Amino acid sequence: MESLWDAICQEKHQSQSPDWHGAVLEERRQQIAAGEAKWLGLDELKKRLG
């Protein structure tokens, strides 16, 4: 596993995030700033995914 991680870290190719990621992050920042963000605990997240 460590060899794999080392290979990934040394790889020169840098993946770019899609443009829409920036829009989603900005929307979430605004929700946090406005006090409108909803936070889940780990247990609640597991229930939703499970």
Give the model's pLDDT for residue 9. Answer: 81
* Per-residue pLDDT, 31: 97
Q: Is residue 14 included in any domain, yes or no?
A: no
Q: Is 37:28 a contact under the CB 8 Å cutoff?
A: yes
The 10s digit of each residue's pLDDT in 1-50 is: 898 888 878 776 677 889 999 999 999 999 999 999 999 999 999 999 99
Domain boundaries, position 29: 19-50
Q: Is 32 among the domain residues?
A: yes
> What pTM did the predictor assign?
0.55
pLDDT given at position 5: 86
Please give the pLDDT value at position 35: 96
The pLDDT assigned to 36 comes to: 97
Domain count for the chain = 1
Residue 37 located in a structural domain:
yes
In angstroms, rounded to a whole number, what is the distance separating the alpha carbons of residues 22 and 5?
A: 27
